[in-house]
Structure formats: C-alpha cells, structure tokens
Chain A
Amino acid sequence: MTTAISVQNLYMKFNHTLALDGASFEVRKGEIFGLLGPNGAGKTTTIKILLSLLRPTGGSVRISGVDVLANPQEARKIVGWVPQETAVDRLLTGRENLYLIAGLYHIPPKAARPKIERLLEIFDLTDAADRVVSQYSGGMKKRLEIAAGLLHEPAVLLLDEPTLGLDIHTRRKLWDYIRLIKRSGTTILLTSHYLEEADALCDRVAIIHKGKIMACDSPAHLKAEYGQPRIRVEPAEPLRPEQLQSYLRALSGVGRLSAHRADPHEIRLDVDDPFAATKAALAEAEKLGIPLKGVSAVHTSLDDVFIKITGSDILEANAVE
C-alpha cells in the first residue's frame, strides 16, 4: 500500500462557519507532506480530525487503511502527534515525560526503556533528561515533544507548526531531525505557515485556503506551474519620484510591475522572458540616464505560488485573522 493518509471530501462546520469545505488530499507512504495555509485555513481542524479529537460534519479519513471515524482508538495507535501547544508536562523531567507518554500507548516500562534511551540520544537530550522541562529552552522542549510523538513508532507523525516561535538557527537544526525521522521510514504530515520551511522539507505540499485544498503537488511542480519569471532592477541610488515615474513608464512594455514592489530602491517586474527583459531594462535605464547597481532574475518561491493561488500573502492573511 502506498497511501499513508487519505482524506476525502472533509467538511467541518462550527456553528455557522465552515472550517473545512470539502477538503481532499492523499499523503504517500514515506514522504514529508506539508499542509500550508494561514491561520484559520483549516490546518489544525484537519489534524484534530485525524486524531479523532473532532468529528467532521462529513467526509472520510483513513490512516494506513484504518477508518479513523469508525475506529478512533485503532487510528490513535498508529498516529504520533506533536501539537503546536503543550505536548509534555512542564513539571516533570524529560525522562519522566517519555515514560508517561509511553505508558499512554501501553508500552510497559521495561519495553519503553531502550526506546526512551535511544530517542534521548538521537534528539541530543541525554544530558538534560533528568531536568524538569520548565528549565528547557524552546528548541529542547520541541525536540522532547517530537521524541514523545515517536515512542510508539507510529506509521504517521503529525507535526503541527513544528518550528513556530523558534529562532532561525534552531529551526534549521530541527529540519535536520525531521529529515532523520523521514529516513527511518515514518510518514510525516506537517503544517506550517513558513513557506520556505515547507519548500526546504516537503516532498509534496497542499495549499489550503478557507477550508479548501487549492493545489497539491511537489514544491518544484507548483513553482513551475504557478511561478512567474521575474526580474529585479536595482538603481545605484534611490530614484526620485519623477525618475521612478518615467522609468516605470519606459518599462511598461518590458513587463508588468509585480504586486507591492514599486519602491525607489528596487523595481520588480513580472516578465515572459527574463533574458530579453534584462536587456531591455538596461537599455531603458541608459536612455534615461539612470545608473543601475544591477539587474537580476528572481527565482519563484512558494510565497509567489501562494499569492497566485489564494490572492493574498500568507503572512498578511495571518495578520487579518
């Protein structure tokens, strides 16, 4: 079997709002799958349905062939979860927490011991294992929470915003741990609104917006499909308003101004042919006597894909929520 998670036509209605509006996607065995969207798009609702913490209004969910709605306890046995919020008891030590969570999956202490020691080692927590979690740093706590999610060797690991609130360095380190988990054969579903994180980690991503899956593919394919070739023109000095005006007018034949990108320091243009556009931009600047620092082609990012599909920037969408 190659499907780890199958979500079909999922609906979730809270009072009068539709949190999920017919969402469908499949996660393949062994991949890292990203569910991307701003707050309130339906990511956490989907995760909670996968864990039987919420019962959907309609639709079906299968994890490794187990019907989650019909057999919630069976499904919980094969799913690991690292929630966005509290996944461990702050007043227990790291090791005590792992024994507690192991017990919740009916692993007796004797059988849990080697698993716990191994996970502590993998996640570099052996030295901190007997310290109370309230003394842990954010990164350490997250690592412990991930280790706790792996104790029962789940077929599928759900990571809900795994790097939220961590600094860049800690985030990147955490990505290595997540890749390590993938190598052990565990399927990973992660939610994120850091698109560059999804780009770096995920084999495939689904973009969820207002409870609907808008697109689902590998980041490379999405960028090829939705991406827009673009060039960036940097003047040597900030342009005066009238300079900017006339230069923009001259460039109107070269490409369209990218959204939010008309400032005196940098001009971004959506173009058809970056090479031809670069030449044209240089020529127009010379004609107007505007000295340039440089012109370069801009690679499409998942952010561009996201804007194209949903019509809004993911961080702006978050701010509105």
Chain B
Amino acid sequence: MNSLQRLLFENVVLMKRWTCRLKRAKLTIITGLIQPVLWLVLFGQLFSRIMQPETLEGVSYIAFLTAGALVMTVYEASAVGGVELLFDRETKFLERLLAAPVSRFSLVANRFVYLILFSCLQCLLMIATAALLGVTVKTGVGGVLVILLISALFSAGIATVSIILAFVTKNHADFFSIVGFMGLPLMFCSSALIPLSRMPDWLNIIAHINPLTYAIEGIRKLVIFGWDWPYILKMIGVIVAFDLVVMAISVKILRRGLTVS
C-alpha cells in the first residue's frame, strides 16, 4: 500500500465502525426518517395561514420551508456528530486508537467524512419527503446534485466546529450544552423560517453573518426559482470561506489533541 491507499484504507476501516453501529441503532434510523416529515408537515401547517404566497415571493410556505428544514436537519446532525470523538476521549478508546500505527489525520477525518456522507443522505431524504408533499425541485436532477454539494460543504464546516468542540470541551455534558445552546439562535437568525426581506433590520444584519443563511438561500433558489448561477456561486463561495476559516482554526487544536505531549 502506498501512503494514499493506506489513508483511504484507514478511513474506510474507521468509518465501518459508524456504519456497523448505525445498522443496529433502529431508533436513530426511525427518528431520522420521521424528522423531515415533522419539519415539513408541522412547521409547514403551523405557519401556512399567516405565511401567504404574497409574503413569500409567490410560493407556498411548504415550498419556501423546504430549504430551511433541509439545512436545519443537516445542521443538527453535523453539530452533534463530533461528540463520538469526545466519547472516545472520555473512555480513553482514543488512546487505544492512537497506539496503533494509524495516521493521526485518519482518526479525525473518518468521522468528518462520515458526517458529510450522512448529511447527503439526509438531504436526499428531505428532498424525497418534500416531493411527496408536492414540492419538487425546480432545477431538476442537476439542481438536486448542486443541493447535495451545498449540503456537503455546509456540513463540512459545521462538522469541523463540532469536532473542535469535541477536543476543547471537558466532557460531553459541556459539549451538549454548547451545541444545544447554539441551535436556536442560529435558526432564528437565519432565513430558515421567513424570508430575509421580512426580517427586522437588526436580525437581517445578523442573518448575513450566519453561514446557515447562505446554505438556505442557495438551496432555496434551486428548489423554488431556478438556475441563478451568479447568486448560487456567491452562496457557495461564502460557505467555502466559512469552511476554510473553521478548518484553519481546527488545525492547531487537533494537532494538540492527537499528538504526544
């Protein structure tokens, strides 16, 4: 094996750990399948009377909500996903892994890649659920592929934040308080539930520095309106910039967390 093959092999081996667990985690699978339906049906119905097409640039609320629900689902899974590395730290299984001649990079990368792939799966599930409820992606199969790309890029940034938290928090109780605390403000300070143009000015400003907004806006464009390449590329550009920033921050923290002291 050359070093690239070895890296690939290690990541496949380590990811198998998560898929083995997932196939036994019936509850996770069931709730994961129901979650998208809850989002679209409950939220969609709750706001359908007050959110009229004229406030939403001419579309039904459920169509409008699809992008927000999709991004929130991806966000939640990715933001919590790093905790497995924290559990490994807590149980000291991480030490056992570090004692093997495996690349230190692989020990984190496998979880990162798994979370991105998992997000893509959830993304497809959400699109399928929306289709069942009558919302089809305006840009067709090509659009779905770009939605997957945006979800993956967005998930990459959030997963990185989650992995950083797994190495800087003392224990999983702290981890969950932080992650739980972040979710609501990030959702309300984004265009997940209502259009940017309908937000109070100060919230609108905050929404513009929130990476969720860019993922939502890009996907919403593809779901409802159609191919607006300059706009979509701008959204992707901001998400990539966000990814690069958090990854740059993570390098030092991970190096310290994974090397000998």
Do B10 and A96 touch (CB < 8 A)?
no
Decide yes or no whether A104 CB sits under 8 A from chain B: yes
A99 to B99, CA, bound (A): 16
Which residues of chain A (72-113) have a CB below 8 Å from chain B?
Answer: 72-74, 76-77, 79, 81, 83, 85-93, 96, 99-101, 103-106, 108
Which of B13, B91, B100, B260 gathers the greatest number of chain A CB atoms within 10 Å? B100
Decide yes or no whether A236 CB sits under 8 A from chain B: no
Decide yes or no whether A53 CB sits under 8 A from chain B: yes
Decide yes or no whether A52 CB sits under 8 A from chain B: yes
Do B99 and A53 touch (CB < 8 A)?
yes
Do A103 and B10 touch (CB < 8 A)?
yes
Decide yes or no whether A298 CB sits under 8 A from chain B: no
Which single member of B17, B20, B101 contacts A73 (CB below 8 Å)? Answer: B101
Main secondary structure of the interface of B (DSSP, over half): helix
Decide yes or no whether B261 CB sits under 8 A from chain A: yes
Contact status of A100 and B92, CB under 8 A, knowing A54-B260, A77-B101, A106-B6: no
Decide yes or no whether B229 CB sits under 8 A from chain A: no
Decide yes or no whether B97 CB sits under 8 A from chain A: yes
Contact status of A76 and B100, CB under 8 A, knowing A103-B13, A104-B13: yes
Do B93 and A100 touch (CB < 8 A)?
no
Q: Which residue of B lies closest to A82 (CB)?
A: B96
Q: Which residue of B lies closest to A105 (CB)?
A: B100
A86 to B99, CA, bound (A): 12
Contact status of A87 and B96, CB under 8 A, knowing A55-B260, A55-B261: yes
A85 to B100, CA, bound (A): 16
Which of B14, B91, B260 gathers the greatest number of chain A CB atoms within 10 Å? B260
Interface 0/1 of B1-27, CB less than 8 Å to A = 100001001101110110011001000
Do B261 and A76 touch (CB < 8 A)?
no
Decide yes or no whether B95 CB sits under 8 A from chain A: yes
Decide yes or no whether A63 CB sits under 8 A from chain B: no
Do A83 and B17 touch (CB < 8 A)?
no
Do A103 and B96 touch (CB < 8 A)?
no
Decide yes or no whether B59 CB sits under 8 A from chain A: no
**A interface, how many residues as a size bin?**
20 to 34
- Contacting residues, chain B, for A206 (C-beta < 8 A): none
Decide yes or no whether B98 CB sits under 8 A from chain A: yes
A55 to B260, CA, bound (A): 6
Contact status of A89 and B17, CB under 8 A, knowing A106-B6, A106-B9: yes
Do B99 and A91 touch (CB < 8 A)?
no
Do B260 and A53 touch (CB < 8 A)?
yes
- Contacting residues, chain B, for A108 (C-beta < 8 A): 9
Q: How far is the CB of A66 from chain B (nearest CB, A)?
A: 12
Do A54 and B261 touch (CB < 8 A)?
yes
Q: How far is the CB of B196 from chain A (nearest CB, A)?
A: 42
Do B96 and A81 touch (CB < 8 A)?
yes
Q: How far is the CB of B23 from chain A (nearest CB, A)?
A: 10
Decide yes or no whether B168 CB sits under 8 A from chain A: no
- Contacting residues, chain B, for A106 (C-beta < 8 A): 1, 6, 9-10, 101
B contact set with A: CB distance below 8 Å: 1, 6, 9-10, 12-14, 16-17, 20-21, 24, 91-93, 95-102, 260-261
A contact set with B: CB distance below 8 Å: 48, 51-55, 72-74, 76-77, 79, 81, 83, 85-93, 96, 99-101, 103-106, 108, 132
Q: Can you offer 11 A-B residue contacts whose CB atoms are under 8 A?
A: A54-B260, A55-B261, A81-B99, A83-B95, A86-B93, A89-B17, A92-B20, A100-B13, A100-B17, A103-B14, A132-B24
